[in-house]
Amino acid sequence: MMERPWLKQYPAGVASEVDTSACPTLASLLEDSFSRFPGRTAFVCMDQPLSYAELDRASRALGAWLQARGLQPGERIAVMLPNLLQYPIAAAAILRIGCVVVNVNPLYSARELQYQLQDSGARAIVILENFAATLERVLPETGIEHVVVASIGEMFKFPKDALVNFLLRHVRKMVPHWHLPGHVKFNQAVVQGGSMALSAPSIQPSDLAVLQYTGGTTGRSKGAMLRHSALVAAVLSTDEWCKPAQERIKSEQYNVVCALPLYHCFAFVSCMLCSMRFGSCSFLIPNPRDLGATIKALRGHKLHVFPGVNTLFNALLNHPEFSSLDFSELTVTTSGGMAAQSSVARRWLEATGCPMAEAYGMSEFSCGATCNRLDLSDFTGTVGIPMPGVDACVLDEDGVRLPAGEAGSRPARGANDGRLLEQAGRISAGHDGGWLDAHGRHRRHGRFGLSAHPGPQEGPDQCQRLQGLPERGGRSRIRPSWRAGMCGNRRGRRTQRGGAGVVRGEERPGAGRGGVARLLRRPADCLQAPARSRFFRVAAQVKCGENPSP
């Protein structure tokens, strides 16, 4: 059995494993929250509340409407919405009927949207009217048969609903002209479904729940296949990890800031699923770039949990009205998605009195893999220790475990991991590099990515995705991994300018020792034919014989 030095760092009362038997699927987890917190407010958006009971009724009605359109369990339904009240309704409806949520970035271009809809095989889509013109351009090239169109104002009561929609459509011109024959309005679908009975299907923990597309930092965006069991494990792991913080929150209901986009795995798990598990109230921020509107939406409320990214925290700290927010009971601030700067963490602690806990995860891992303890009093500069139910280590480029302090690739495994969607026999994966200190704390140091290679590959257990390391002549050296995505370094040659160089198809010794490289793909013409050598640009920090600095 793997040695787990990080367990010595666990807070008292936090278990090392999670038990998903009580709520084996997301549908059962949602039903549990609906039954326990019917009178509580689940979400607030633009001062419009949505209770757990209202969310239950609306998602049940929309689910029945989707079933009446012939959508069967396992079929994919795209959700192209920002942080609006329609998002949790749509997501809950899809999960309750056993279909698969395909999260789509609303800011996608027509080409990006077409690729994702084709790649996922989505048969239906729930989309905001502001982006319907983009869908119109690619709809004939996709398999979409049913279109549900939402508007920002429709969740408000009269006359605010009409005023908001009129302002956005005709004054601010934020809704381009669009034409989608046969579409149905979101509220209309909910009303029609209200007179129908939802047929609860038999959903298994191993069934696919979400197709979460990656950001595409190592190539074309790929769909992480997240099972019900994986996402439930992620939620329960977070629940267990938050126990020390929950004991310090005085209020009966927690207020969670949801400024991160729900179509991203970080927010989908931490701001929606975990929030509903806790019976919390999430304040949905449709456009966090509008800092004034963000602060206005949060003003007057005691904030308890604030997940975010470094850029958001930094922007808020520099806003003149930031001090008007009530942080008197802020207990948890988690930073992920990118490295948190120590200067920002220090200023955040001074302004709010709440230390920033940095976390790490990937889409393929249902969001979280490691996190700092939530009872610490200061910023650690690491991404913490593996969360309950997660194993992790650091490997060299040959897959051999490295001792504490050595840099290499950092795989992880757990009940909350997934695998990448395979289409047309092509595979592609990426992973992060870093090292493990003597206390089991992880440090990030760059991301590795490799291009796709022809032909399906499979491995044992969770290793459903393999990654080829290009060699001379375009041949691939395949190595298995614990996670969805291979681990391996690419050797580079140290140059006269601090280690930056170009790695071709052949191996070049030197840069792999004591250093970690960030691999960025060269132009596409270098990667067209499998028989040709691949080219990679390597920006490496090479410290032979030394450990990378924090």
Condensed to tens digits (0 to 9), the pLDDT of residues 219-263 reads 778 888 999 999 999 999 999 999 999 999 989 999 999 999 999
Q: Give percent of the chain above pLDDT 70.
A: 72
Give the pair of three-digit tokens for residue 137: 């351009």
Asked if 411 and 404 touch (Cβ cutoff 8 Å), the reply is no
Reported confidence tier of residue 410, pLDDT bands at 50, 70, 90 = low
Asked if 308 and 260 touch (Cβ cutoff 8 Å), the reply is yes
Give the pair of three-digit tokens for residue 246: 């929950």
pLDDT for 445 beyond 50? no
Domain ranges of the chain: 21-371, 389-541
Distances (CA, A) of 249 to 241, 255, 275, 276, 307: 15, 10, 14, 17, 16
Arch. (CATH architecture) of 21-371: 3-Layer(aba) Sandwich (3.40)
> Given this model, what pLDDT does residue 402 score?
75
Reported confidence tier of residue 215, pLDDT bands at 50, 70, 90 = confident
Asked if 418 and 366 touch (Cβ cutoff 8 Å), the reply is yes
In whole numbers, what is the pLDDT of the chain averaged over residues?
A: 78
Give the pair of three-digit tokens for residue 34: 């609906």
> Given this model, what pLDDT does residue 549 score?
35
Helix, strand, coil % over all residues of the chain, rounded to 5: 30, 25, 45
**Alpha carbons 119 and 102: distance in angstroms, whole number:** 11
Give the pair of three-digit tokens for residue 294: 């963000």
Reported confidence tier of residue 419, pLDDT bands at 50, 70, 90 = low
Q: What's the mean pLDDT in 377-388?
A: 90
- pTM comes to 0.78
Q: What's the mean pLDDT in 84-111?
A: 97
Reported confidence tier of residue 417, pLDDT bands at 50, 70, 90 = low
Reported confidence tier of residue 531, pLDDT bands at 50, 70, 90 = very low
pLDDT for 352 beyond 50? yes
Phi-psi region of 529 (alpha: psi -120 to 50; beta: other; left: phi over 0): beta
Task: Indicate the residue type of 449.
Answer: G
The more confident residue out of 439 and 25 is: 25
The more confident residue out of 417 and 268 is: 268
> Given this model, what pLDDT does residue 523 score?
32
Element (H, E) at 246: helix 243-246
> Given this model, what pLDDT does residue 425 score?
28
- Please give the backbone phi and psi of residue 22, each rounded to the nearest 5 degrees, phi first: -70, -40
The more confident residue out of 317 and 503 is: 317
Distances (CA, A) of 153 to 84, 165, 167: 10, 5, 10
The more confident residue out of 514 and 437 is: 437
Q: How many helices and strands (H and E) does the chain possess?
A: 14, 27
Asked if 451 and 430 touch (Cβ cutoff 8 Å), the reply is no
Distances (CA, A) of 133 to 113, 127, 176: 12, 10, 6
Q: Please list the residues that pair with 124 across neighbouring strands.
A: 77, 146
Reported confidence tier of residue 300, pLDDT bands at 50, 70, 90 = very high
Among 84-98, 148-162, 483-497, where is mean pLDDT lowest? Answer: 483-497
Strands in 467-528 per DSSP E: 467-470, 476-479, 500-503, 516-521
pLDDT for 167 beyond 70? yes
Q: Cβ of 38: how many Cβ atoms within 10 Å?
A: 14
Helix (H/G/I), strand (E/B), else coil: 491: coil
> Given this model, what pLDDT does residue 181 score?
96
**Alpha carbons 507 and 530: distance in angstroms, whole number:** 17
Strands in 336-425 per DSSP E: 356-360, 370-371, 385-386, 390-392, 407-409, 412-414, 419-420
Task: Please enumerate in sequence order all residues whose Cβ is within 8 A of that of 413, keeping only pairs 6 or more positions apart, or say none.
Answer: 390, 391, 392, 462, 482, 483
pLDDT for 199 beyond 90? yes
**Alpha carbons 100 and 231: distance in angstroms, whole number:** 13
**Alpha carbons 196 and 190: distance in angstroms, whole number:** 10
CA atoms in the 13 A half-sphere facing the CB of 5:
11
Nearest to 278 by CA among 252, 302, 307, 309: 252
> Given this model, what pLDDT does residue 4 score?
83
Q: Give percent of the chain above pLDDT 90.
A: 63
Nearest to 313 by CA among 255, 352, 359: 352
> Given this model, what pLDDT does residue 440 score?
54
Q: Which burial class, exposed, middle or buried, applies to 424 when counting CB atoms under 10 A from its CB (0-12, 13-18, 19+)?
A: exposed
- Pairing verdict, β 385-386 and 370-371: antiparallel
- Please give the backbone phi and psi of residue 439, each rounded to the nearest 5 degrees, phi first: -95, 5
Asked if 51 and 41 touch (Cβ cutoff 8 Å), the reply is yes
pLDDT for 198 beyond 50? yes
Q: Which burial class, exposed, middle or buried, applies to 379 when counting CB atoms under 10 A from its CB (0-12, 13-18, 19+)?
A: buried
Reported confidence tier of residue 453, pLDDT bands at 50, 70, 90 = very low
Per-residue pLDDT tens for 309-319?
999 999 999 99
Q: Position of tokens 């290499």?
A: 408
The more confident residue out of 504 and 288 is: 288
Please give the angle made by the CA atoms of 545, 549 and 550, to the nearest 5 degrees: 150
**Alpha carbons 270 and 38: distance in angstroms, whole number:** 20
